[in-house]
Amino acid sequence: MISHVETLYSGTATASGDTSATPVKTQFDKEAIIYFDITAVSGSGATLDLTLKIYDPVSVKWYELASFDQKNDVGQDVGYIEYGINERLAVFYEINGQNPSFTFTVSVNLKDR
Ordered DSSP codes for 18-65: E-TTSPEE-TT--EEEEEEEEEEEEEEEEEEEEEEEEEETTTTEEEEE
CATH of domain 3-111: 2.60.120.380
| Contact criterion met (CB below 8 Å) for 101 and 41 | yes
| Residue-level pLDDT at 112 | 82
- Is 29 exposed, middle or buried (CB count within 10 Å of its CB: 0-12, 13-18, 19+)? buried
Which pLDDT score, from 0 to 100, does residue 104 have?
Answer: 98
For the chain, the helix, strand and coil percentages under 3-state DSSP, each to the nearest 5:
0, 70, 30
Mean pLDDT of 72-79: 97
Rounded mean pLDDT of the chain?
Answer: 93
Phi, psi dihedral angles at 82 (to 5 degrees): -95, -40
The closest of 4, 62, 3, 7 to 37, measured between CA atoms, is 7
- Which pLDDT band, with edges at 50, 70 and 90, does 1 fall under? low
Q: Report domain extents, the chain.
A: 3-111
* Model pLDDT for residues 2-39, shown as the tens digit of each residue: 688 999 999 999 999 999 999 998 877 888 999 999 99
